[in-house]
Amino acid sequence: MDVIEDMPANVVSRILRNSDPASRSQINQLLNYPKDSAGSIMTTEYVFLHPDATVEESFARIRKEGMDKETIYTCYVTQNRVLLGVVTVKRLLLSSYETRIRDIMETNVLSVNTHEDKEDVAQMLNKYDLSAIPVVDGDNRMVGIVTFDDAMDVIEEETTEDFEKMAAILPSDKPYLKTGVFETWRSRIPWLMLLMLSATFTGIIITKFENALAACVVLTSFIPMLSGTGGNSGSQSSTAIIRALSLDEIDFSDMVAVVWKEIRVAVLCGVCLACANFVKMMLVDRLLMNNPEVTPVVALVVCLTLVFTVLCAKVVGCTLPMAAEKIGIDPAVMASPFITTIVDALSLLIYFFFATHLLTLS
Amino acid sequence: MDVIEDMPANVVSRILRNSDPASRSQINQLLNYPKDSAGSIMTTEYVFLHPDATVEESFARIRKEGMDKETIYTCYVTQNRVLLGVVTVKRLLLSSYETRIRDIMETNVLSVNTHEDKEDVAQMLNKYDLSAIPVVDGDNRMVGIVTFDDAMDVIEEETTEDFEKMAAILPSDKPYLKTGVFETWRSRIPWLMLLMLSATFTGIIITKFENALAACVVLTSFIPMLSGTGGNSGSQSSTAIIRALSLDEIDFSDMVAVVWKEIRVAVLCGVCLACANFVKMMLVDRLLMNNPEVTPVVALVVCLTLVFTVLCAKVVGCTLPMAAEKIGIDPAVMASPFITTIVDALSLLIYFFFATHLLTLS
């Protein structure tokens, strides 16, 4: 670390220039830019121009310096390292040779701070279709640029992380086949363990209603279908919301609109599923497979449970990721596995509620 | 459709220039480029240069024509519309005015066909860090370019589609809040219905082993934990594989390496989970909650089931997406919900196998 900090700027700059984004990121981290910050992925290879230079002088400078630079098409106008504006080569080409840079530069420049999250920076480049964005320090002094190709890499990396978190895997940086067996195990076991142990609650619920199950054994056979459908309904909502959050399509203020929408979708889905399931239970389970235990009342219990499970699943599925975002937890963690565990317990409670109320009456 | 086809090229070109990528895509589709093809997202706004022009003449051309173009920094060298090479403005700036384009152009040009899948094109731009890629027709005549900002939009769109497919949602093009309730319902109900009906198999399995469950009612209380852990294990593997496939990190030829790795990870995870679960069942369920039905043999049945369920889940989770890719189905469809449904049935079969063999002996 000290080794790099003591190096002259031009040496560091040379190392940075000759390195791929991954090792550049490592070096930038050594220079005290936090991991996942704009500073950690920026390159210092940009062309800067003086505001009082003419277009002709600027072209000379680009010709002389541009050879090594990562991008020359957007030049940054700085004075005492403070960023004053940008000028594109397109603009330079369309201007006369005597024009001063100061007169043609664009002063309304979008820039980011070194400490800004690299994912936000990448999304910004994507949103505004920029090929590069300048990075400035606390005193508005320019220290580097983040280019679109590095932004694309960041987006790819962060998407992979989202996928991993949503499948209850701790994120890793390495490609699948390059990750060792122990490392893969280490990234997968914590959530598996946590979710397995939290399934203790579903066990307790079933044990509590053991008598109901013993009185009507056929009820057991619908438990996997109910928890499966609940889990799928919940993960549809949570995935849609997590993705919409990460694309900035929605935020916490949309909570009411989102929940209201999910409730209506849930009712539609729940009623459809319940009707189909009622027909299936009457035709397949009762008639075709000749199971006399599948009475219309049992079917009613299962179908009512379906409607309310889907409703709960969709509401839990949309609220948890938004709440997580609000309190600063990555919403991707609130995905299928987490939701499924909660919905499993909820669906059993709903099931036994209807079973004990409707079946003792019949 | 005919209206657009009859328009002079410059009129169409003007429409295309003034439109955002989404409506450009619609217009390109009207021009008979298939949906999701390179042709459907390309722009015709590029600068082309003649191979025999000098650098000076080329700069004059760029100054005259470049104003309106989407990108001027990479110019395409064409003769009778056939793509001969590319030359960057950087290269032009570093060359003397009299140099002929033919002598400085890069002839080793990566290009794509109009019919190529837009996702592949976007990945190519990303992989080679290109700011634009030329699109040619069957006769190598240049018809347009795809730029990095459109590629980033494509990647974002396709990622959203992957997320949706993996959560058993039919892909939609619209942002979350812009999609109506009925539309959302239509995209979610088909998979929910299919998965619910396929859960019939788990119902049949449980009905078949009703006597075993009646003889040892406590077994029921571990079903949600077992199917939950199986589902989570499977979705970890399938998500890791689906992502690796979509990033081209692995393909079908890696099947053996992938399965071998997943087996080792599964054994490690399974054994850890089983040990933790054994301790938990003995301490919490038997001692703390004072449930005499939770005998060491019952715990053994549950723990053995855990090990083999995790193993099956991880093998199914990694093979199905790879097999899907091989036969031309999008592997994203083979994600959690699909795997969970299969693993649910498998875990029950394993559970009842151990239960009937070990519990009748005790």
Least CB-CB distance to A223: which of B224, B233, B250? Answer: B224
- Band (A3; pLDDT cuts 50, 70, 90): very low
Nearest CA in chain A to B277: A197
Q: Which of A141, B121, A30 is nearest to A19 (CA)?
A: A30
Q: Phi/psi zone of residue A351: left (φ > 0), alpha (ψ -120 to 50 degrees), beta?
A: alpha
Mean pLDDT over A208-224 rounds to 85
Residues of chain B with C-beta less than 8 angstroms from the C-beta of A166: 163, 239
Contact A149 B126 (CB under 8 A): yes
User: Which of A65-74, A156-165, A259-268, B213-222 tops mean pLDDT?
Assistant: A259-268
The pLDDT score that the predictor gives to residue A93 is 85
| Rounded CA separation A214/A212 (Å) | 5
CB contact under 8 A, A185 and B228: no
Alpha helix (H) ranges present in chain A? 2-6, 9-17, 21-30, 38-41, 55-65, 89-93, 101-104, 118-127, 148-166, 181-198, 200-208, 210-215, 223-246, 255-280, 296-326, 336-354
The answer to whether B73 and A73 are in contact (CB under 8 A) is yes
On whether the CB atoms of residues A51 and A84 are closer than 8 A, the answer is yes
Which residue from A159, A195, A196 is facing B159, i.e. has the nearest CB? Answer: A159
Q: What is the Cα–Cα distance from B296 to B281, expressed in whole angstroms?
A: 9
- Residue A26: per-residue pLDDT: 56
Structure tokens at A260: 């209201």
Per-residue tokens: A114: 């070194």
Mean pLDDT taken over chain B = 84
Question: Which pLDDT value is given to residue B4?
Answer: 44
Contact A177 B250 (CB under 8 A): yes
Q: Are B129 and B72 in contact (CB under 8 A)?
A: no
In single-letter form, the type of residue at position B73 comes to Y
Is A94 close to B66, i.e. CB distance below 8 A? Answer: yes
φ, ψ (nearest 5 deg) of residue A292: -65, -20
Q: Do B175 and A249 make contact, defined as CB atoms within 8 angstroms?
A: yes
Alpha-carbon distance of A289 to A233, in angstroms, equals 28
Residue B189 and residue A268: Cβ atoms within 8 Å? Answer: yes
| Cβ atoms of residues B321 and B254 within 8 Å | no
Token digits of residue B193: 């219905």
Q: Which of A66, A217, A238 sits opposite B214 (nearest CB)?
A: A217
Helix/strand/coil for B317: helix
- Write the Ramachandran bin of B96: left for phi over 0, alpha for psi from -120 to 50, otherwise beta: beta
* B 295-354 residues with CB < 8 A to A: 306, 310, 336-337, 340-341, 344, 348
Angle at B232 between CA B230 and CA B233, to 5 degrees: 65
Quick one: pLDDT at residue B8? 43
Residues of chain B contacting A89 with CB distance shorter than 8 Å? 73, 89, 93
Beta-bridge partner residues of B48 = B76
Residues of chain A with C-beta less than 8 angstroms from the C-beta of B182: 268
Average pLDDT over residues A68-96: 86
When pLDDT is cut at 50, 70 and 90, the band that residue A361 belongs to is very low
Within an 8 Å CB–CB cutoff, is residue A215 touching chain B? no
List A145's β-bridge partners, or say none: A43, A134
| CB distance B216 to B354 below 8 Å | no
According to DSSP, the residues that pair with A74 across neighbouring strands are A88
- Chain B residues whose CB is inside 8 A of the A182 CB are 268
Provide, as residue numbers in chain A, all residues whose Cβ is less than 8 Å from the Cβ of B202. Answer: 221, 224-225, 228
Region of residue A53 (left: phi > 0; alpha: psi -120 to 50; beta: else): beta
Which A residues 91-130 touch B at CB under 8 Å? 93-94, 125-126, 129
Q: A176 φ, ψ to 5°?
A: -50, -55
Residue A12 has pLDDT above 60, yes or no: no
Question: What is the pLDDT, as a whole number, of residue B22?
Answer: 54
Question: In this predicted complex, what is the ipTM?
Answer: 0.75
CA distance A269 to chain B (A): 6
Beta bridge partners of A132: A147
H/E/C letters for each residue in A267-298?
Answer: HHHHHHHHHHHHHHHHHHHHHHCCCCCCCHHH
The amino acid at B342: I
Nearest CA distance, A212 vs chain B (angstrom) = 11
The mean pLDDT value for A296-306 works out to: 94
- Name A181's Cβ contacts closer than 8 Å, sequence gap at least 6: B261, B264, B265, B268
* Cα R_g (chain A), whole angstroms: 29
B194-212 CB burial, b ≥16 within 10 A, e <16: ebbbbbbbbbbbbbebeeb
B33 versus A42: which is more confidently predicted? A42
Surface of A (165-194) touching B: CB under 8 A: 166-169, 175-177, 181-182, 184-185, 188-189, 191-193
Q: How far is the C-alpha of A315 from the C-alpha of A259, rounded, in Å?
A: 6
- What amino acid is encoded at A253 in this protein? S
Residue B224: enclosing H or E segment and its boundaries?
A: helix B223-246
**Cβ–Cβ contact B164 with A under 8 A:** yes
Three-class secondary structure of residue A42 per DSSP: coil
Between residues A270 and A289, which one has the greater pLDDT?
Answer: A270
The Cα angle at residue B335 between residues B330 and B336, in degrees rounded to 5? 170
**pTM reported for the whole predicted model:** 0.77
- Average pLDDT over every residue of A196-220: 85
* B256 in contact with A, Cβ within 8 Å: no
Closest partner CB to B232 (pick from A126, A195, A222): A195
pLDDT of residue B20: 56
Give the range among A9-23, A260-274, A317-331 with minimum mean pLDDT: A9-23
Six-digit token pair at B176?
């979350």
CA separation for the pair B103, B52 (Å, rounded): 9
Least confident stretch, A17-21, A56-60, A247-251, B353-357: A17-21
d(CA A349, CA A308): 11
Q: Which of A9-18, A123-132, A266-275, B120-129 has the lowest mean pLDDT?
A: A9-18
Would the CB atoms of A155 and B155 count as touching at under 8 Å? yes
* pLDDT score at A22: 54
pLDDT tens readout for residues A99-157: 999 999 988 888 899 988 888 898 888 888 788 899 998 888 999 999 888 888 888 88
Beta bridge partners of A147: A132
Chains A and B: how many Cβ contacts under 8 Å?
A: 322
With a CB-CB cutoff of 8 Å, which residues 14-33 of chain A face chain B?
none
Cβ neighbours around A312 below 10 Å, total: 21
Burial, B102: exposed, middle or buried (Cβ in 10 Å; 0-12, 13-18, 19+)?
Answer: middle
Specify the amino acid at residue A362.
S
Site of tokens 């919940």 = A234
How far is it, in rounded angstroms, from Cα B144 to Cα B151? 14
Residue type, B116: E
Q: Which residue of A has its CA nearest to B201?
A: A225
Please, is A235 exposed, middle or buried when counting C-beta atoms within 10 Å of its C-beta (0-12, 13-18, 19+)?
buried
Instruction: Please indicate whether, in this complex, the C-beta atoms of B169 and A254 are within 8 angstroms of each other.
Output: no
CA angle, B266 as apex, B263 and B267 as ends, to 5°? Answer: 90
Q: For residues B238 and B324, is the Cβ–Cβ distance under 8 A?
A: no
Q: What is the pLDDT of residue B21?
A: 53
Mutate to test the interface with B, among A20, A65, A196, A339 (most CBs of B within 10 A): A196
Q: B57, B71, B239: best mutation site toward chain A, by most A Cβ within 10 Å? A: B239
Q: Give B261→chain A minimum CA distance, Å.
A: 6
- Going by the DSSP 8-state scheme, the letter that residue B217 receives in this structure is G
Closest B-chain CA to A249: B175
Say whether B217 and A221 touch across the interface (CB within 8 A): no
- Parts of chain B with a pLDDT under 70: 1-32, 360-362
Q: Is B155 on the interface with A (CB under 8 A)?
A: yes
Do A238 and A313 form a contact (C-beta atoms < 8 A)? no
